[in-house]
Copies of this chain bind each other. A is one copy, B any other.
Amino acid sequence: MAIDPIPFLTKYASFPSVSTDSAYSAGMKGARDYVKHALAGLGFEVEEVATPKHPIMLAERGPDRDDVPHIVIYGHYDVQPADPFELWKSPAFEPEVRDGRLYGRGTADNKGPQAVQLTALSRLLEKHPDLPLRITFLIEGEEEMGSPSFPGFLEKYADRLSKADMILVSDTGSPGTEQIVITTGLRGMVGMEVTLTGPAVDLHSGVNGGPVLNPIQALATLCASLHDGDGRVNVPGFYDAVGEPLQWEREELARLPGTEEQYRDLLGVPGFLSPGGATPFELVRFFPTLEFNGIGGGYQGEGSKTVIPSKAFVKITCRLVPDQEEDDIVAKVKAMLLERCPPEVSIEVKVDKGGSPYYVAPPGRPNTASDLSPVFARACAAAELAIEGAFGKKPLYLREGGSIPIIRDMKEKTGLDSLMIGLFTPRDNLHAPNESFELDMMEKGINAYEDILYRMAYPAD
């Protein structure tokens, strides 16, 4: 019997599967068991692969034959923390339908897309119980914590996975149901935490203020040195490997609905930076960043405490684009941090490995890899037709600003490329209070997915 997607997702999203907080281990188990049960119901053989943290669900069904395409479908059952809870209109883990959306943590990222995929498959299997398609579901539980166990899992399972032809993923975004985007590139990411230490302990800023270089001041100066007045990253060699977007990419981007003003209003910023004259949409998709995700030091409470703090820190992440490589960028940024750190403070830089960028051009584009898998090419064609059929408009092929490091890892370890169909939108409030998934997106997504899988299974039709 086909899955009923709204009740399915309502129940799936009711499990508080927050991977970063051990207090939610019951929620993790609940979500895992629930999706395992659903997969088993569709005839999958489900394996729960233990990892140092949260198990990975590995499920397979369908004929294991060379003439049958083998698709890996990747997703994750864990969700972002839901706090601050008080900002939710309905409880984060009691999903509720309002105004055509299902509200709840994880409804869009990433349980909703899984509901789409499983429902589509269940409908298709009802009509074609002997579907000539081998499918491996790979649903992990650590995506929201940076997939720390995934490389270890890949080491062990790379041989088995590399027998597949490609990966299907819906963990990226589209502007809305009026325009679906197939993501051709993900930015890479690397993190650094920089701590400056001045005096051994916090000092009285009156008694000792003047000769002591305040670590906050040193940190501000160091951070300020990392961009130029235009907003470009001011680290020698940072842009060395960055290629210009190709003409066809610019053309796809030009078809993207939405104006700069609408984007500005959506984010609520007074204005945008425009280094090198690039538009906001180009900057997000085609160029790297060096971003400060957090800064802290000294007294942060109400009122004042007149100290010269002993320490101050900043958390930095760089988003990388082709052909930047993680290690190279880390080395360059770190060298500048050390070189520019004044001698009156000491510096510690902790590197938090992320991943290099990922890129795959669809067939027929000037930058398509010569070894693009024929099944991937077929999937692109299927997706174009299916998406046009379900949503009324062809998809756009665009790079995206976010990072899913494991997509590149899977390419490196198994050779598989990922076809990424964006099912969530900027209105879904990912990683924020009142996350939701649009029901219209869900239904059209199910139709598209059913059609894609059908076309993959029966290419002759």
Instruction: Enumerate chain A interface residues (CB-CB to B < 8 A).
Output: 20, 145-146, 173, 187, 189, 191, 193, 198-214, 216-217, 219-227, 231, 267-274, 278-280, 283-284, 287, 289, 291-300, 303-309, 312, 314-315, 317, 319, 343-346, 352, 400-403, 426, 430-432
Contacts and interface: CB of A to CB of B under 8 A. Distances in A.
Nearest to A299: B294
Contact of A205 (B268, B289, B430): B289
Given A272-B344, A315-B304, A208 B294 contact: no
A298 B187 CA distance: 21
16 contacts: A202-B432, A210-B273, A216-B223, A217-B227, A220-B221, A220-B223, A221-B224, A223-B224, A291-B308, A293-B305, A294-B300, A294-B307, A294-B309, A295-B298, A296-B297, A298-B315
A292 B220 contact: yes
Residue among A208, A209, A299, A308 with max Cβ neighbours from chain B (10 Å) = A209
B283 A299 contact: no
Contacts of A274: 211
For the complex of A and B, the 3 pairs showing the least CB-CB separation, nearest first, are A200-B268, A210-B283, A206-B402
A421 to B, nearest CB: 16
Given A191-B306, A212-B273, A295-B312, 5 more contacts: A205-B317, A206-B400, A220-B221, A270-B343, A291-B308
Given A306-B317, A314-B216, A296 B293 contact: no
A430 B201 CA distance: 12
Residue among A295, A296, A298, A308 with max Cβ neighbours from chain B (10 Å) = A295
A256 to B, nearest CB: 14
B300 A267 contact: no
Taken together, the copies of this chain in the complex come to 2
Nearest to A211: B280
Given A224-B220, A293-B299, A293-B309, A344 B208 contact: no
A318 B270 CA distance: 30
A312 B211 CA distance: 27
B305 A273 contact: no
A284 B211 CA distance: 7
A400 B204 CA distance: 12
B402 A269 contact: no
A187 B207 CA distance: 10
Contacts of A296: 295-297, 300
A368 B344 CA distance: 38
Contact of A213 (B193, B269, B401): B269
B304 A352 contact: yes
A198 to B, nearest CB: 6
Contacts of A287: 210
A324 to B, nearest CB: 14
A293 B189 contact: no
B267 A293 contact: no
A223 B223 CA distance: 10
A212 B267 contact: yes
Given A199-B267, A210-B283, A224-B220, A205 B291 contact: yes
Contacts of A226: 217
A291 B345 CA distance: 15
A402 B207 contact: yes
Contact of A270 (B211, B221, B345, B403): B345
Contact of A401 (B209, B219, B289, B344): B209
